[in-house]
Structure 1
């Protein structure tokens, strides 16, 4: 785009809440690109040398920072902010943790666990999980959004109609994300970089990895979206279909309980088939398995399925 500029947002421009009164870190024009320096999901509290004790001592006031905000000139309530993911600057390492009190099966896993990953910088080689499995990489940022119309500070942990911690693995390189704008300038921020994640992120963490990210910001005037939408540049599955899947289900009148039971079933299968312990199986489900609603129309019970690709164990 003619006149496009590249802006850099440094790592000190990180904050821990969405707030429409926060001073912008940068003002950009529609069509400009913004390069965010390394974003770390826990503000440096974990490292490649970390142990499970570091998980126990995490300060949750420093979890899920976002970088920005970016004021997009001309953005007004009712517009959509179009965010295109252009690329990542990887660190070569990441982590997955079971954090007590957090995750889909928090009641089942009272003790913390930690897995440190090492990966090649091109994202092309699957990441080895304790010699048991090879997880394909697909980098994305879990938290992408804009400021709320309401005054005050809002946590970065949940998702909102304005985006936030959506943890959608398909919002990766080449994807166009459209977010409803609620305040002048939009006040865009981004964070929570991942190397890989299954749909559902069931243990509460993916392969969390400090990374830089570059995006292009543009506007769609007057779209009046209620919630974010996105367009992918091609196929979204990075799992390997050619060897099929192990699939477990949960069935009942409550979608949350059905989801929990589908994951519990897969943990049991992985323990039996691949000699994983329960914590390893739970973390592997989070980074590479997919939780899907299979049926939601035949009252009073719904069906949730959990898909684990056989290929990762070859």
Structure 2
């Protein structure tokens, strides 16, 4: 039977490690709807008045906090936890940062030694569905959660920063309102947690951050049996709520191909080329171009079979440049 009673988990139930010995913040039946108050992916270390001078003081050890866990009655190892995303509401501001290269964070971290920070206004144009990067560049708001996961089978503490077969920091922008995520249960109760709200992100999150923001989230958690094929995160989207590619790419895109025998280096070449184009054609600084790519450009594997070289494209949707033909 499905239960639709309302339950809430506050941001005080925060943790920075996946650990199957954590006591549940809440215990619910299968089919329950739950709301969460979520910290941003930086543990709310930046405010709406923060500047680039605050970035070196950022404590990376506080990255990707999760809220929970929630124990789901009836969930047993071998089952699947079905996560339906019902509502995602962003805060009034968000941020995108380039961290100092010494942290090794970001696809081109070695080429961006200096910190940078962009504070986004997520309120003024929210009803119109976008936020302004700078005059003439609009980014569609498309909320999703970077961290969605359940406890691992192994005992001990595991960082919330990387993704796992049980979910975690998967940073998949396609899993949004209307989408359904399926996670393989490894421990009794599943122990579900979530966090790391994003207002927008490009595939790849290339500078290491999206539009990071605090968020209010509502999900429905349901235990499903007999789906042995779910051994890693699976997800389903609907046409109504999935990323609106027509809106993003209705004017086409400008894309750069990176070619290299190493897939990561091919990705770096593609991204570097897109940055160069944004600097040369659109007048952005390199730091601005790097952050812009992280919140709207998509990295795609264009070719992976014609060895020894791989081809990766980095595409920038042209519809973000308003007032241009």
Q: Please, what TM-score do these two structures have when normalized by structure 1? A: 0.97
Q: Partner residue of 1:214? A: 218
> 231, 237, 242: which one pairs with 1:232?
237
Shift of 1:241: 2.4
| 1:188 correspondence with 2:226 | no
Give the conservation status (yes or no) of the 8 Å contact 1:123–1:137: no
Shift of 1:75: 0.6
Unaligned runs of 5+ in 1: none
Q: Partner residue of 2:147? A: 143
- Is the deviation greater in 59-68 or in 283-292? 59-68
Q: How well do the aligned residues superpose, as a CA RMSD in angstroms?
A: 1.3
Measured at CA, do residues 187 and 124 of structure 1 come closer, stay the same or move farther in structure 2, by a change above 3 Å?
Answer: farther
Give the conservation status (yes or no) of the 8 Å contact 2:90–2:122: no
Unaligned runs of 5+ in 2: none
Distance 1:274 1:293 in 2: 25
- Is the deviation greater in 263-272 or in 34-43? 34-43
Measured at CA, do residues 3 and 227 of structure 1 come closer, stay the same or move farther in structure 2, by a change above 3 Å?
Answer: closer
Ranges of 4+ aligned residues in structure 1 off by more than 6 Å: none
Shift of 1:4: 1.9
Give the conservation status (yes or no) of the 8 Å contact 1:177–1:229: yes
Distance 1:123 1:95 in 2: 19
Distance 2:128 2:141 in 1: 7
How many matched pairs?
Answer: 314
Q: Partner residue of 1:310? A: 318
| 1:117 correspondence with 2:114 | no
Q: Please, what TM-score do these two structures have when normalized by structure 2? A: 0.94
Give the conservation status (yes or no) of the 8 Å contact 1:67–1:191: yes
Shift of 1:78: 1.0
Partner secondary structure for residue 186 of structure 1 = coil
1:278-297, aligned counterparts within 5 Å?
A: 278-297=286-305
1:36-47, aligned counterparts within 5 Å?
A: 36-47=36-47
Shift of 1:132: 4.3
Give the conservation status (yes or no) of the 8 Å contact 2:3–2:29: no
Give the conservation status (yes or no) of the 8 Å contact 1:144–1:166: yes
Distance 1:220 1:184 in 2: 13
Distance 1:211 1:33 in 2: 17
Distance 1:124 1:214 in 2: 22
Shift of 1:150: 0.3
Distance 2:250 2:136 in 1: 19
Distance 2:60 2:138 in 1: 30
| 1:34 correspondence with 2:34 | yes
Distance 2:45 2:248 in 1: 34
